[in-house]
Amino acid sequence: MLKPSDEKYLRAIYQISQSENTGKSTISELAYYLELKPPTVLERLKILEQEKYITYTKTDGIHLTRSGQKQALNVVRKHRIWETFLHKVCKFSWSEVHELAEQLQTVNSEKLIDRIFMLSGEPKFDPHGDPIPDKSGTLPASERRPLLNSIEGCRCTVLGVNEDSAEFLNYLSELKIGLNEKLVVEKIFAFDGTLKVRFKNAETALLSSKVAEKIMVSCTKPGCLCGK
């Protein structure tokens, strides 16, 4: 049986690997994420490695094994279901849910998660737009489409790009839009199709239709009519 703090580690490793394009995590990132010091993290990683949840080498970083990935996805599932419940059923704001879900995710009852999931209307995405894995660890399929096909109010996640010229990628990195970024389409200017998007929950940017055409996203707003 996994301890609560093991679950935190696995979820953190998973989250970091998702937000990196390399898919690898380092000790200092993990330490920063977990608000611990690197020696503490290293010590624990050795145990997680013995238990075959991860592999770790200095050069190659931290990777989840198949078994570790399965566990991690289960924790992610619990976490995102709690977040959704807190937001939709208990009416907590977007920004309050994370910390509470962190605590609730440690509660050990598959049955409780099932009930909470039902009470929340069996959602496919959490309030941040992140997909909720099913019990077998499968993420819900999401339709990949250009950001350009959005409608106002659409919430979506960046899955990738359709062009990899340095100019384009530099431009995106200048805007600080990366893989898995969550975007909210605030306004679409009919004149030339420019999109005003909000992201990192605060910043906004104006994207020309030429750029928006090349950013591939999936919509995470339930019932959204975008791309139709």
Partner DNA sequence: ACAAAAAGTTAGGTATACCTAATATATTTA
Partner DNA sequence: TAAATATATTAGGTATACCTAACTTTTTGT
- Which stretches of the chain bind its own copies, using CB under 8 A? 86, 89-92, 100, 103-104, 106-109, 111-112, 115-116, 119
Classify residue 76 by burial, with Cβ atoms within 10 Å: 0-12, 13-18, 19+: buried
Which of its own copies, DNA, none interacts with 163 (beta carbon under 5 to 8 A by kind)? none
Beta carbon nearer to DNA, 10 or 116? 10
The one of its own copies, DNA, none whose footprint includes residue 164, by CB under 5 to 8 A per kind, is none
Nearest to 161 by CA among 213, 109, 206: 213
Q: Which is nearer to DNA, 38 or 146 (CB)?
A: 38
- Closest CA relative to residue 24, chosen from 58, 48, 52: 58
Smallest distance from the beta carbon of 107 to its own copies, in angstroms? 5
How far apart are CB 96 and its own copies at their closest, in Å?
Answer: 8
Using CB distances below 5 to 8 A depending on partner kind, what does residue 206 bind out of DNA, its own copies, none?
none
Report in angstroms the alpha-carbon separations of 161 from 58, 73, 146, 157, 179: 31, 25, 9, 12, 9
Binding-site member from 2, 19, 20, 27 for DNA (CB under 7 A): 27
Does residue 28 sit in helix, strand or coil? helix
Choices 30-38, 116-124, 164-172, 187-195; region in contact with DNA by CB under 7 A: 30-38
- Closer CB to DNA, 3 or 111, in the complex: 3
12 near DNA, rule: CB under 7 A: no
3-state secondary structure (DSSP) of residue 38: helix
Report the site for DNA in 33-52 (rule: CB under 7 A): 35-40, 42-44
Q: Could you count the other beta carbons within 10 Å of the beta carbon of residue 49?
A: 16
Question: Does residue 228 belong to the site contacting DNA (CB under 7 A)?
Answer: no
Closest to DNA by CB, 13 vs 217, is: 13
Distance CA 204, CA 194 (A): 13
Task: Label residue 106 left, alpha or beta by phi (over 0 means left) and psi (-120 to 50 means alpha).
Answer: alpha
Radius of gyration of the chain (CA): 19
Smallest distance from the beta carbon of 25 to DNA, in angstroms? Answer: 9
**What pairs with residue 155 in β-bridges?**
184
Out of 1, 22, 50, 59, the only residue in the binding site for DNA (CB under 7 A) is 59
Task: Tell me whether strands 194-199 and 203-207 are parallel, antiparallel or unpaired.
Answer: antiparallel
Which residues make up the interface to DNA (CB under 7 A)?
3, 5, 26-28, 35-40, 42-44, 58-59, 61
